[in-house]
Amino acid sequence: MHFSSDIKLSDKAIAVQNKMNALREKMFQKDKSLNIGNYYRWRDTLLNSELYDILYHMPKPAIHHAHLTACATIDFLIYLTRFDSVYYSEQENNFYCSGKGCTKDGYIKVNTLRQYWKDSTEFDSWLAKKLELRPAEDCQEDHKVWQSFQYKFMLSAQLYSYKPFFEKIVYKVCRDFLREGVTVVEFKHIFGTLFDDDHKPVSLQEEIQILFDTQKVIQQRFPLFKMKIIVCGLKIVGRDFVQNQIELLLQADKLTNMVIGFDLVCEEDYNPGTDHFLDQIYDLKLRIGDKFAVFMHAGESYQRTNTELYDAILLGTKRIGHGFALSMHPNLIEIVKEKKICIECCPVSNKILCCVNDLRLHPVRSLLARGVPVSINPDDHGFFQSNGVTLDYLYAYLEWGLDLSDLKKLCLNSLEYSTITEAEKVEMRKFFDWRWRRFLSYVRGKY
Ligand SMILES: [Zn+2]
């Protein structure tokens, strides 16, 4: 009944598994408190570990849950601030981007500010601290972390939305994912926020062109690479904003096949629930017909009163973002299994946003044991300084007592529950098998 019982490891794979298990044992022997407590206490140890290197080279066919406006590493955002088109106001604690100068009161070119500091690296680390999500060492209160999290989106909005930077970010993020073995990236994205040098809005057509061109350039070297977009409404901003995203989705659907569906985001339990937008989503369903698909964030909460999972399932969600609360609903577990709804689990995000402070106790472990399909995802890894999805896999491997067949099953789930076509899946399975063998050879050769 084990969730990966259909995976049969080759002798070479068993040798790699033994090697990995021994490395895990060594890590825990070295420090029995590994991973207990604050995320940043362990981040560097994990990123520099041999197991991180091994999992970085493991092919991970698809990512289901990554927010495009939270994917760039802090280092890359700092690199962007070195362009002369970036200004900063200490008073407003915000950036302003334009290649045509800035007359706004209190805004100074970031490069000028950098010169005021004795050491430019000190300035960059000061800036990095502002951008990264780093809750206080002893903070275990999720709502408090979320408040500071929302501020990070506001602070970095100009960097993400300035058209020349957006182009660079999309390309960089996709290339970084490819380097760690990801071939299909399904981004959660908010349309219509881009602006140009005159701070005029960039048209939807241009925005889609950027995404399409990035995909095309990457496909020249990596033909199987695919980028998909799930349009996101922000529950915190309200119905008008959500309606605007729905209209943009409908327009985008006429321009590209990259758009695959709709989602609603924001901190649950402190914002209007999905039911507040039901009529709008049903209207979208009527207008788009069979192509309609939702990939709802739901159950990113441990509150018993949270009903988001019910609404997500009733809306016919293809996958569930987080689904953290699912373990509390036995009937829903059976429905999720029957309807083959995949849980987009995001371990690092759940830890840093205090859904669960100790990943050994993550409820997805019991869901896996009950046969619920699960995939591993990075959520907002840019702000977490986790450099992609590899750290999420590493946490899962270390904290959930997984073995290599479990990891392979999670990788294959990312492929099977992605939205690529059946014909593309056939190709991807062949590609995955080839890369898996290469991965085994890499580990056997190096470790
Ligand atoms: Zn998310």
C-alpha–C-alpha distance, residues 13 and 59, integer Å: 14
Supply the pLDDT for residue 227. 98
C-alpha–C-alpha distance, residues 292 and 350, integer Å: 29
Using the mean position of ligand 1's atoms as its centre, give its distance from the Cα of residue 79 in Å.
Answer: 25
Supply the pLDDT for residue 189. 97
Where is 95: in which H helix or E strand? strand 94-97
Asked whether the predicted pLDDT for residue 137 surpasses 80, the reply is no
Asked whether the predicted pLDDT for residue 250 surpasses 80, the reply is yes
Where is 250: in which H helix or E strand? helix 239-255
Q: What SS3 state is found at 97?
A: strand
Burial of 84 (0-12, 13-18, 19+ CB in 10 A): exposed
Torsion angle of alpha carbons 158, 164, 169, 170, nearest 10°? 120
For residues 84-97, give the mean pLDDT.
95
Using the mean position of ligand 1's atoms as its centre, give its distance from the Cα of residue 153 in Å.
Answer: 13
Using the mean position of ligand 1's atoms as its centre, give its distance from the Cα of residue 297 in Å.
Answer: 7
Residues counted in the chain? 447
C-alpha–C-alpha distance, residues 296 and 312, integer Å: 6
Q: In this structure, what token pair is assigned to residue 310?
A: 């019910």
Using the mean position of ligand 1's atoms as its centre, give its distance from the Cα of residue 421 in Å.
Answer: 24
Contact indicator for 212, 170 with CB cutoff of 8 Å: no
Using the mean position of ligand 1's atoms as its centre, give its distance from the Cα of residue 9 in Å.
Answer: 33
C-alpha–C-alpha distance, residues 213 and 43, integer Å: 34
pLDDT tens digits for 33-69?
998 888 999 999 999 999 999 999 999 999 999 999 9
Using the mean position of ligand 1's atoms as its centre, give its distance from the Cα of residue 256 in Å.
Answer: 23
The helix-helix angle for 278-288 and 239-255 (nearest 10°) equals 20
Using the mean position of ligand 1's atoms as its centre, give its distance from the Cα of residue 226 in Å.
Answer: 20
Using the mean position of ligand 1's atoms as its centre, give its distance from the Cα of residue 67 in Å.
Answer: 6
- The sign of the dihedral angle between the CA atoms of 219, 221, 225, 229 is negative
Using the mean position of ligand 1's atoms as its centre, give its distance from the Cα of residue 306 in Å.
Answer: 17
Using the mean position of ligand 1's atoms as its centre, give its distance from the Cα of residue 264 in Å.
Answer: 9
Asked whether the predicted pLDDT for residue 329 surpasses 90, the reply is yes
Using the mean position of ligand 1's atoms as its centre, give its distance from the Cα of residue 81 in Å.
Answer: 26
Supply the pLDDT for residue 442. 98
Using the mean position of ligand 1's atoms as its centre, give its distance from the Cα of residue 308 in Å.
Answer: 14
C-alpha–C-alpha distance, residues 112 and 286, integer Å: 53
Supply the pLDDT for residue 429. 98
Domain boundaries, the chain: 45-71+163-438
Supply the pLDDT for residue 141. 81
Pairing assessment for the beta strands 342-345 and 374-376 based on DSSP bridges? parallel
Using the mean position of ligand 1's atoms as its centre, give its distance from the Cα of residue 91 in Å.
Answer: 30
Q: In this structure, what token pair is assigned to residue 126?
A: 């000061």
Supply the pLDDT for residue 152. 87
pLDDT tens digits for 167-199?
999 999 999 999 999 999 999 999 999 999 999
- Assigned CATH class of 45-71+163-438: alpha beta
Tell me what percent of the residues of the chain surpass a pLDDT of 70: 100
> Global pTM?
0.95
Asked whether the predicted pLDDT for residue 78 surpasses 90, the reply is yes
pLDDT band at 289 (very low <50, low <70, confident <90, very high): confident
C-alpha–C-alpha distance, residues 317 and 315, integer Å: 6
Q: In this structure, what token pair is assigned to residue 158?
A: 């100009």
For residues 87-110, give the mean pLDDT.
94
374 pairs with which residues across the strands? 343
Using the mean position of ligand 1's atoms as its centre, give its distance from the Cα of residue 267 in Å.
Answer: 9
Supply the pLDDT for residue 67. 97
C-alpha–C-alpha distance, residues 316 and 272, integer Å: 20
Supply the pLDDT for residue 192. 96
Using the mean position of ligand 1's atoms as its centre, give its distance from the Cα of residue 183 in Å.
Answer: 20
Q: How many CA atoms lie within 13 A of 422 on its CB side?
A: 0
CA dist list (Å): 54 to 112, 185, 447? 42, 21, 9
- Residues near 97 by Cβ (< 8 Å), separated by ≥ 6? 85, 86, 87, 158, 159, 161, 162, 165
Supply the pLDDT for residue 412. 98
Supply the pLDDT for residue 144. 82
Q: Which of 343, 269, 253 is nearest to 308 (CA)?
A: 269
Torsion angle of alpha carbons 327, 330, 335, 337, nearest 10°? 60
pLDDT band at 76 (very low <50, low <70, confident <90, very high): very high
Asked whether the predicted pLDDT for residue 138 surpasses 80, the reply is no
Q: Pick the residue with more confidence: 301 or 380? A: 380
Contact indicator for 202, 196 with CB cutoff of 8 Å: yes
Using the mean position of ligand 1's atoms as its centre, give its distance from the Cα of residue 119 in Å.
Answer: 36
Q: Which of 298, 291, 302 is nearest to 277 (CA)?
A: 298
Q: What SS3 state is found at 61?
A: coil
Using the mean position of ligand 1's atoms as its centre, give its distance from the Cα of residue 21 in Å.
Answer: 31
